[in-house]
Amino acid sequence: MNWLTENSLHKTYIGLVLLSALFSCEDPSRLGIDLIGNNDDLGVLYTEIPLTSEVVLLDSINTTSRGTMMTGNHTDNDFGNLEVQSYIRVVPPGVAPDIPESVVSADSIRMNLRFNYYFGQSPVTHYLRVHELSEQIDTERIYYSFDSTKFIPTSLVDSSFTVSDQDTLLSLNLDALNDRLFQAMLGYQPDSAGAAEFLENFNGLTLISGANSNAVLGFNSQFSDSQLTLYYTTNDTVVNTIDFGFSSYYNRITPDYTGTELEGIQLLEDFSPISGNTYLQTGAGLVPKVNFDAFYDFIDNDTTGSVVINQALIVMDELRGLDGTINPPETMSFYYTDENNQLVMVGIENLMVPATIQTDQVYITTTRNNLDPFNTSLRSVRAELDTANIDYRPEITLFIQFMADGAFDRSATDKVLSMPFSFVETPTTVQEIGRNVDRFIVTPDNLRLEIFYTRLK
């Protein structure tokens, strides 16, 4: 590597730190101490640097077929009101049903939904309406959290039921669709023409929860028993079924922060809550913007000019705004942003991805003359949730070392958006953030850098 300074001690100890970043399993408090021993010229020190943050409300959150169809409402003092609706495209069966001529009607039809997500009070009485869409969902476009599709005002079913985070399947009676779907299956052929005719006459469904539900329910559209099932009887006793699947869908997610300290936040503008707290609410697009200025102040006030970072962790702990069914994201990464709070995109045309803070392994293989903070690698630093302590402690040692050395442009790397990580990204959106409505709150005392470093005494 040729990015080291000319100071020989600096060279020696940065090299040792690089090795420890790859191979060390030592307790962080020991990193570098055993290497130095009784050296009177060097000291291994520890510091905690409080980090400040703002909150940014992103727009254009992609919620199209993200893995969970959601519906619900939730209200509390921290985040205000959250309303979620799902719009679902229903597709005909892949095989032609064999309906005898003697059968002239269906017995019933049920909508079955397999749970894969729960957010809010548990148990709770949930109020749910199912409406038929009056226009089609376009499978060629991306739908965002602010989109909606027109639906018929009269509901197909208006139900209330007790639900908890232990439930596995929701089953609703949609007998209002009996005649239409049964007639659509008479003579149906599972070819492109047959499918097109079905979709032309049946646009799909929307799930709308009542305002007093106080829970958001999520369902897996791809699970085998998430479907519409039409029942009809032959020979007076034999029950037959026809299954209709769910294809494209999206979720409309509408936050309302009225009455909270987030009231007044505007799209893509930095917002500083009075408390200094930072907030994350995934599907709503509310994300922390972490500021590294305090670390630069620490480096600028060091007079030796020979700081070697042994280990650096960015810590978010003592997370608030949670309970047994309200959880923080499992994994996050740190995304570079421009002055307009748009993600910095890197790569080549049609293969653009958001730029993130990279792992130590990526930086180790980089020379100083070829050092690019906006690396195109997808080896992003992952902030993994510690489910025992409910905190995040990702290691960003070499990123901090390069910041200390002045190898990065401060104005380009001093602020990052902390958001759920997704391996597959699109040119304009981060997919994972639209998957659910996970959240947390971090108080000012619980967002910091923890650094073990070596410097001249």
> Mean pLDDT in runs of 10 for the chain (457 residues)?
37 46 43 53 87 95 92 96 98 93 93 96 96 96 95 97 97 96 94 92 97 95 92 90 94 98 97 97 96 93 78 97 92 92 82 83 68 63 93 95 88 91 50 88 97 82
* pTM to 2 decimal places: 0.87
Among 192, 123, 183, 128, residue whose Cα is nearest residue 155: 128
Q: Kindly state whether residues 376 and 283 are assigned to the same domain.
A: yes
Q: Kindly state whether residues 186 and 334 are assigned to the same domain.
A: no
Q: Kindly state whether residues 235 and 342 are assigned to the same domain.
A: no
Q: Kindly state whether residues 111 and 186 are assigned to the same domain.
A: yes
Alpha-carbon span 404 to 152, nearest angstrom: 60
Q: Kindly state whether residues 168 and 48 are assigned to the same domain.
A: no
Q: Kindly state whether residues 90 and 208 are assigned to the same domain.
A: yes
Alpha-carbon span 31 to 443, nearest angstrom: 29
Give the end of a domain, one of 235, 256, 277.
256
Alpha-carbon span 5 to 454, nearest angstrom: 15
Q: Provide CB contacts within 8 A for 89, sequence distance 6+.
A: 136, 137, 139, 199, 203, 204, 246, 247, 248, 249
Half-sphere exposure of 412 (CA within 13 A, CB side): 14
Alpha-carbon span 420 to 281, nearest angstrom: 10
Q: Kindly state whether residues 52 and 90 are assigned to the same domain.
A: no
Q: Is residue 339 part of a domain?
A: yes
The residues with which 291 forms a beta bridge, in sequence order, are 52, 415
Q: Is residue 252 part of a domain?
A: yes
Q: Kindly state whether residues 282 and 181 are assigned to the same domain.
A: no
136 touches 198 (CB < 8 A): no
By DSSP bridging, strand 331-336 and strand 52-57 are: unpaired
Give the end of a domain, one of 256, 279, 310.
256
Q: Is residue 383 part of a domain?
A: yes
Q: Kindly state whether residues 278 and 412 are assigned to the same domain.
A: yes
> What pLDDT is attached to residue 214?
93
Q: Kindly state whether residues 290 and 197 are assigned to the same domain.
A: no
Among 205, 99, 187, residue whose Cα is nearest residue 150: 205
Q: Kindly state whether residues 204 and 288 are assigned to the same domain.
A: no
Q: Is residue 3 part of a domain?
A: no
Q: Is residue 320 part of a domain?
A: yes
- Structural domain for 192, as ranges: 69-256
Alpha-carbon span 139 to 383, nearest angstrom: 33
Q: Kindly state whether residues 238 and 353 are assigned to the same domain.
A: no
Alpha-carbon span 215 to 82, nearest angstrom: 9
Q: Is residue 261 part of a domain?
A: no
Domain count, the chain: 2
Give the end of a domain, one of 226, 256, 286.
256
